[in-house]
């Protein structure tokens, strides 16, 4: 049996393996492998899923680095803005790339942010092995909501960045548009 280890950033209990990780995403190799496997699985089984971008947003926002690297600060912040758009503004997760572009077009520097209460209860493992497309989307949305909630002391700053980007009006799905 392979020994297990708890991912230092999200707390997922994963096989203690050697393996690649992302340059500025300090996850356990076993956690990065679980993320990579989930991405491969959804490309194969749920290629048109609304939630595919949300997997990336949730994972990146749940794995902040120490904030010393500009790319690390930027990654956590912009993916949180995207989570905000989906979880609070009912934007479709398919609009995530537009949100990221709009934030990056406007903002070059990002603050160091630190979670006060840990990474939340759900991890990438909660979204693995979905039974159906609907199950996949439900699991990913639950995980995304948990990650967003874990950063609650920064919600106001993130909302402000989303509002300032001007993308808010563009990303709302027609069902939620103001009638005027």
| Contact residues for Zn ion, defined by CB under 5 A | 7, 9-10, 12, 27, 31
**Tokens 């989303």 appear where?**
162
Contact 150, 115 (CB under 8 A): yes
Question: Would you say 42 or 171 has its CB closer to Zn ion?
Answer: 42
Please report how close the Cβ of residue 93 comes to Zn ion at its closest, in angstroms: 20
Please report how close the Cβ of residue 42 comes to Zn ion at its closest, in angstroms: 18
Please report how close the Cβ of residue 145 comes to Zn ion at its closest, in angstroms: 17
Question: Would you say 93 or 120 has its CB closer to Zn ion?
Answer: 120
For residue 46, the cross-strand partners are none
Please report how close the Cβ of residue 63 comes to Zn ion at its closest, in angstroms: 6
CB neighbours of residue 93 within 10 Å: 25
Helix axes 155-165, 96-106, angle to 10 degrees: 90
Question: Would you say 13 or 157 has its CB closer to Zn ion?
Answer: 13
- Terminal-residue alpha carbon distance, the chain: 61
Give how far Cα 32 sits from Cα of 23, 93, 122, 176, Å: 11, 22, 15, 35
Tell me which residue of 54, 13, 68 sits closest to 148, measured CA to CA.
Answer: 54
Question: Would you say 103 or 119 has its CB closer to Zn ion?
Answer: 119
């Amino acid at each position: 049996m392979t020994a297990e280890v708890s991912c230092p950033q999200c707390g997922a209990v994963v096989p203690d393996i050697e393996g690649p990780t992302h340059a500025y995403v300090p996850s356990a190799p076993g956690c990065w492998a679980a993320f990579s496997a989930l991405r491969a699985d959804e490309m194969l089984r749920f290629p048109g899923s609304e939630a595919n971008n949300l997997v990336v947003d949730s994972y990146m926002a749940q794995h902040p680095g120490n904030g010393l690297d500009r790319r690390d600060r930027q990654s956590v912040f912009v993916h949180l803005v995207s989570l905000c758009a989906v979880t609070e503004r009912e934007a479709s997760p398919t609009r995530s790339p537009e949100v990221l572009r709009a934030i990056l077009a406007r903002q070059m520097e990002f603050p160091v942010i630190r979670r006060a209460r840990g990474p939340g209860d759900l991890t990438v493992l909660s979204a693995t092995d979905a039974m159906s497309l609907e199950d996949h989307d439900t699991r990913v949305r639950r995980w995304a909501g948990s990650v967003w909630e874990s950063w609650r002391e920064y919600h106001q700053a993130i909302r402000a960045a989303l509002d300032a980007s001007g993308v808010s009006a563009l990303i709302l799905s027609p069902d939620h548009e103001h009638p005027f």
